[in-house]
């Protein structure tokens, strides 16, 4: 159980911004955008880690770095004990079979000119999953597994609704029997009633097939529902991580608290008129000094503006990146133990 499937160590991804021509002539360096900044985490086998944050926090970039769709600037990615940070394309092929992804937009992540059968068969043949005489049976089993009829096989993506397309995306990802599934906002584009179907399906298949899942989303309630541990990102850094209970019931970082308070709850009654978190997310091109959250933080003090906050370990699982929480002079005593 405690075997680590994915470990990310100090991962950083910097994008160089395109330079205006004049800057190029003047040999001015390109502006740099630090999308992911020194992120580390581990996912144990069969666990689900929920990665949450608002737009621009780097959660999608992080997912893509792990898939090696982006080259990381520094840091290491260990997948099933193997360092995959610098594998070449050929070597990545077998890794990719064990590491699959589903995307947010079920409308653009399927090829419009391939039937479901063609799309799935291509994957099976490429990764040599089944002998050709068992291909069809396997295909039908996949469709059944994600809750689609057999006659879906010969249809084109356009004849499916958003939820059904997400099922096809899931079938394609699971066709190769991966160990790790990266789900990048898999239900954000779906209607509420369909969203619940897909979340349940994802949870069922995870348990049935023994998947380890990295679930990237901006919606806390969705992430809470499927994950056993969570990491909250803000401007490229993980600012709080822990088990789902720790992050939801005993959150320490003011940003996590703000996110939780800002979430509209389906319980009627007008609430506090004070916004949970004031201000806008700063541009990652113009990163705030010190703690990155200090420009919006309700409890920020002088030290937050100048010094980067320390990473504090509250328990073996719960970490927070803050000067002032649990308390300013906190010295490492584990709370409550």
Q: Which of 271, 285, 298, 302 binds other proteins (CB under 8 A)?
A: 271
Residues 316, 323: Cα–Cα separation, whole Å: 19
Taking CB under 8 A as the rule, does residue 19 contact other proteins?
Answer: no
Residue (84 or 190) nearer to other proteins, CB: 190
Span near other proteins by CB under 8 A; candidates 14-22, 116-124, 195-203, 317-325: 195-203
Q: Which of 112, 131, 268, 336 binds other proteins (CB under 8 A)?
A: 268
Q: Verify cis geometry, omega within 30 degrees of 0, for the bond prior to 157.
A: no
Residue (85 or 224) nearer to other proteins, CB: 224
Residue (8 or 171) nearer to other proteins, CB: 171
DSSP 160-221: S-HHHHHHHHHHHHHTT--SEEEEESTTTTS-HHHHHHHHHHHHHHHHHHT-EEEEEES-HH
Taking CB under 8 A as the rule, does residue 46 contact other proteins?
Answer: no
What lies within 8 Å, CB to CB, of 194 at 6+ separation is 161, 162, 163
Taking CB under 8 A as the rule, does residue 221 contact other proteins?
Answer: yes
CB of 329 to other proteins, least distance (A): 29
Rg (CA), the chain: 22
Residue (90 or 270) nearer to other proteins, CB: 270
Residue (182 or 202) nearer to other proteins, CB: 202
CB of 81 to other proteins, least distance (A): 30
Taking CB under 8 A as the rule, does residue 110 contact other proteins?
Answer: no
CB of 48 to other proteins, least distance (A): 11
Taking CB under 8 A as the rule, does residue 285 contact other proteins?
Answer: no
Residues 231, 224: Cα–Cα separation, whole Å: 11
CB of 86 to other proteins, least distance (A): 34
Span near other proteins by CB under 8 A; candidates 23-31, 128-136, 196-204, 316-324: 196-204
CB of 163 to other proteins, least distance (A): 7
Residue (83 or 208) nearer to other proteins, CB: 208
**Element of type H or E holding 304:** helix 302-306
Residues 282, 6: Cα–Cα separation, whole Å: 30
Residue written as tokens 């994957």?
A: 123
Q: What is the DSSP letter of 328?
A: T
Binding to other proteins in span 239-258, by CB under 8 A: 248, 258
**CB-based burial label for 318 (10 Å; 0-12, 13-18, 19+):** buried
Q: Are 180 and 66 in contact (CB under 8 A)?
A: no
Taking CB under 8 A as the rule, does residue 98 contact other proteins?
Answer: no
Cα dihedral 154, 155, 160, 164, rounded to 10, equals 10
Taking CB under 8 A as the rule, does residue 200 contact other proteins?
Answer: yes
Identify the sign of the CA torsion 231, 234, 236, 239. Answer: negative
Taking CB under 8 A as the rule, does residue 4 contact other proteins?
Answer: no
CA 90 to chain CA centroid, nearest Å: 25
Binding to other proteins in span 157-176, by CB under 8 A: 161, 163-164
Residue (55 or 331) nearer to other proteins, CB: 55
Interface residue list for other proteins (CB under 8 A): 54-55, 161, 163-164, 191-197, 199-200, 203, 218-222, 224-225, 248, 258-271, 273-278, 280-281
């Amino acid at each position: 159980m405690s075997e680590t499937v994915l470990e990310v160590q100090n991962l950083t991804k910097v994008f160089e911004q395109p330079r205006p021509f004049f800057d190029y002539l003047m040999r001015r360096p390109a502006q740099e955008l630090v999308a992911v900044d020194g992120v580390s985490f581990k996912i144990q086998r069969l666990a689900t880690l929920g990665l949450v944050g608002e737009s621009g926090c780097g959660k999608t970039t992080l997912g893509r770095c792990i898939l090696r769709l982006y080259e990381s600037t520094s840091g290491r990615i260990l997948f099933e004990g193997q360092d995959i940070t610098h594998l070449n394309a050929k070597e990545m092929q077998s890794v990719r079979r064990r590491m699959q992804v589903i995307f947010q937009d079920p409308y653009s992540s399927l090829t419009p000119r391939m039937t479901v059968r063609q799309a799935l068969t291509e994957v099976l043949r490429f990764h040599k999953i089944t002998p050709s005489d068992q291909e069809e049976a396997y295909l039908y089993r996949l469709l059944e597994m994600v809750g689609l009829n057999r006659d879906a096989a010969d249809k084109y993506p356009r004849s499916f609704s958003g939820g059904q397309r997400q099922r096809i995306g899931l079938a394609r990802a699971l066709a190769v029997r991966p160990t790790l599934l990266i789900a990048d906002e898999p239900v954000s584009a779906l209607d509420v009633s369909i969203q619940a179907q897909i979340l349940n399906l994802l949870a069922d298949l995870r348990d049935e097939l023994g998947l380890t899942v990295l679930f990237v989303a901006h919606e806390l309630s969705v992430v809470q529902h499927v994950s056993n541990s969570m990491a909250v990102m803000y401007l490229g850094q993980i600012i709080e991580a822990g088990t789902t209970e720790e992050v939801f019931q005993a959150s320490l970082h003011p940003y996590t608290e703000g996110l939780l308070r800002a979430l509209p709850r389906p319980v009627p009654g007008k609430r506090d008129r004070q916004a949970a978190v004031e201000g806008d997310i700063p541009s990652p091109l113009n990163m705030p000094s010190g703690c990155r959250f200090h420009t919006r933080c309700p409890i920020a003090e002088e030290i937050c503006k100048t010094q980067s906050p320390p990473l504090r370990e509250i328990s073996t699982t719960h970490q927070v990146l803050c000067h002032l929480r649990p308390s300013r002079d906190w010295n490492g005593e584990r709370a409550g133990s």
